[in-house]
Amino acid sequence: METAYFRFEEVTPGTPDYERYLEARYEVFCEELGRVDAPGLLSAQGRPVETDQYDPFSRHFIACHKPTDTVAGFVRVILPNESGLNVTPRYVIDRPLPYDDATDDRIGEISRMAIAPHFRRRHSDRGKPVHGDPESEMSKKPEGLRQHQPELVLGMYREVYQLCRQTGLDYCVAAMDSHFSRLLIALGFPFVPVGPVNEQVAPPRRVYLISAREMERSLGEREADILRFMQERKAA
């Protein structure tokens, strides 16, 4: 799918775009943030990549900046599988979950979601030559705070939502810090915390659960335009 400035698409193993996606994951999670140990693998282009044991059980998506064809963001959805989810060994998840039918075979995980550094903006970046959305796309938050561009965030969540509807996944979990979870909740996405904050990760994060049906209800009541965007189908 596409928006004014970005193209969103699924990437599959063995393709050049999949390798670009793994390279981008390395740049953010291994090199920039240091959250993930580098596996010591290289792409066909000789650049380091980040991959793990959950990738074979996942569906993978990238967002590309249309004018430059550079990777602007990415996300994967780990599908239910016998190896479990990425959050399971690292976070405490309280049971029972807030939805009676949220069983393990109906829960996926939104994972490895990030926006590439050049596509994050500060209000103090105004007038600087940074690729991405024009100023009208920026969140109106206090001066100096790093912001996620709404078009990128919503576009990636649209891919996640449509995948979940296609595959019958009714729920997803995601480990998020308080800033990003507040952004999504403010946009109308009803993420519910389902465990304590893990202070051993940086920044501290906790696991949130979202219901596809509850999201449709919440957006329908509060943000009908966003719901229409989420449900928009790719042109044939």
* CATH for 47: 3.40.630.30
The domain in which residue 30 lies consists of: 6-231
Q: Give a yes or no: residue 87 inside a domain.
A: yes
pLDDT of amino acid 4: 82
pLDDT of amino acid 236: 45
Number of separate domains in the chain: 1
pLDDT of amino acid 120: 75
pLDDT of amino acid 134: 32
Q: Give a yes or no: residue 106 inside a domain.
A: yes
- pTM: predicted TM-score of the whole model, two decimal places: 0.87
Q: Give a yes or no: residue 133 inside a domain.
A: yes
pLDDT of amino acid 179: 87
pLDDT of amino acid 202: 86
Q: Give a yes or no: residue 117 inside a domain.
A: yes
Q: Give a yes or no: residue 36 inside a domain.
A: yes
pLDDT of amino acid 124: 44
Q: Give a yes or no: residue 1 inside a domain.
A: no
- What are the mean pLDDT values of the chain's consecutive 10-residue runs (236 residues total)? 89 97 97 92 96 97 93 96 94 96 97 88 42 36 46 91 95 94 89 96 94 95 92 71
Q: What is the DSSP string of the chain?
A: -B-SSEEEEEE-TTSHHHHHHHHHHIIIIIIIS--S----EE-TTS-EE---TTGGGEEEEEEEETTTTEEEEEEEEEPP-TT--TTTTTS---SS-SSTT--GGGEEEEEEEEE-GGG-B-GGGTTS---SS-GGGS----TT--B--HHHHHHHHHHHHHHHHHHT--EEEEEE-HHHHHHHHHTT---EE-S--BTTSSS-BEEEEEEHHHHHHHHHHH-HHHHHHHHPPPP-
pLDDT of amino acid 132: 35
* Tokens, residue 198: 């893990």
Q: Give a yes or no: residue 207 inside a domain.
A: yes
Q: Give a yes or no: residue 236 inside a domain.
A: no
